[in-house]
Structure 1
Amino acid sequence: MEVEKAGEREHVVTERLVTIPNVLSVLRLLGVPVFLWAIVSERDGLALLLLLFSGVTDYLDGKIARQFNMESRLGQFLDPIADRLYILTTLFGLAWREIIPVWLVVVLLAREVVMALMLLFLRSRGQLGLPVHFVGKAATFNLLYAFPLLLLAHRDDWLGALARPVGWGFAWWGVVLYWLAAVLYAVHARIVLTRGPRAVTS
């Protein structure tokens, strides 16, 4: 068990494996292949439910972890993996169905490549990672809200017409915040490197 400072308050990061937030993260991970199958096979109802489930559980696991001191090393590892897998599989599925343009896929994948290279560089200098930033989480929330709306926007009825502008609004905010988070991570990485090698929460 380790005590860390978050702003001015302290919170405990434990080594516990079985917690409610961790269970929610595992359930999200198990839903990834099911979602991919649903979106590719055009079972839009199931795909939409899984996307909504992912967004709700992504919010709940962080909220519960902070509120009830259930933050754990495993959760810090699983949560960003689940986020990225849902984003990547959704991009692949929606692009496959031609619901989103290729440029959106390229822009978001380029950001993932930049982050991967940054983390590899940090590890080569003895750093284990970077703490999750609020802007990065906000970007993920925006994208996870955008995707089900963009899926709905594919419909040729009033619901599709209503979902289209809202979905693209979330998508644009998500793209901007996603890249802004990458810039903030780069600034943080530079600060960390100037302080010398030490382990950082991922």
Structure 2
Amino acid sequence: MSTADPTLDSRVPGEPEGVFDRVWTVPNAFTLVRLLCLPLFLYLLFGADNRAGAAWLLAGLGSTDWVDGYIARRFDQGSEFGKIFDPTVDRLFFFVAVIAIIVDGSIPIWFAVAVLVRELLVGGAIAVGVLFLHMQRFGVTWLGKCATFLLMGAVPSFLIGSTDVWEAPFFAVLAWAFGVPGLVLSYWTGIAYIPLIRSGLAAGRASTSTGTDDR
């Protein structure tokens, strides 16, 4: 039995869902709360000079990345807007966090640049494909999720490892233990996404030519 709120969906029955048909859902609200934590992260890091607090907030936000997706699936509140909003917020937070920690000087420059370059290449290719080339979206692979998990553990660990708290040495080691395999795996999955992107482009072109593109 579906638990979706029919008041959130004003479409005519049978009409394809548009991007803005169901914006105000619980998972989208949860994603919005995570986005609003971004200024708090920057304040803790630069305004309050609280590296440990900023790192723990970042770790908490990274560890709750799955919650909005779970809510959407469990309560049938998935939406076209959410499919775009959630990964956009994730990437925005990741980019801002890594760049902020570069400015703070708590992460090796080469590692941070390697992470950002991969995200720009893969994320940029997917964004261009979906927005301008009618590419059909595809889900993140299991290995891609593992890479993200490792990197989201490594980045705040670098930050905590640069503080003078008692657990700093442990997190300094943990940062590399998560960071190296996470970086390697992220590039491996980036290469593995190439055939998925090509298939998505081909499917998008086919649906457009037959007039069945329902994005």
With structure 1 as the length reference, what TM-score do the two structures score? 0.79
Once the two structures are superposed, the pairs formed by residues 62-141 of structure 1 within 5 Å of their partners are 62-115=69-122, 116-117=124-125, 119-121=127-129, 123-127=131-135, 129-141=137-149
Match of 1:146 among 137, 151, 154: 154
Aligned equivalents of 2:129, 2:30: Cα separation in 1: 31
Aligned equivalents of 1:58, 1:94: Cα separation in 2: 20
* Higher CA-based Rg: 2
Match of 1:36 among 28, 38, 42: 42
CA change 1:157–1:200 in 2 (3 A) is farther
Following superposition, the deviation at residue 192 of structure 1 comes to 2.8
Following superposition, the deviation at residue 29 of structure 1 comes to 1.0
Contact 2:118 2:190 survives alignment (8 Å): yes
Seq. identity, %: 30
**Ranges in structure 1 where 5+ consecutive residues have no aligned partner:** 1-12
Aligned equivalents of 2:64, 2:56: Cα separation in 1: 12
Following superposition, the deviation at residue 129 of structure 1 comes to 4.2
Contact 1:21 1:64 survives alignment (8 Å): yes
126-135 or 173-182: which moved more? 126-135
Aligned equivalents of 1:196, 1:76: Cα separation in 2: 17
Aligned equivalents of 2:119, 2:133: Cα separation in 1: 20
Contact 1:128 1:200 survives alignment (8 Å): no
Over 4 Å off, 4+ runs:
121-124
Aligned to 2:27: 21
Contact 1:32 1:85 survives alignment (8 Å): no
Aligned equivalents of 2:112, 2:158: Cα separation in 1: 14
**Ranges in structure 2 where 5+ consecutive residues have no aligned partner:** 1-16, 208-212
112-121 or 180-189: which moved more? 112-121
The total of aligned residue pairs comes to 189
CA change 1:108–1:200 in 2 (3 A) is farther
Contact 1:40 1:96 survives alignment (8 Å): no
Aligned equivalents of 1:95, 1:52: Cα separation in 2: 17
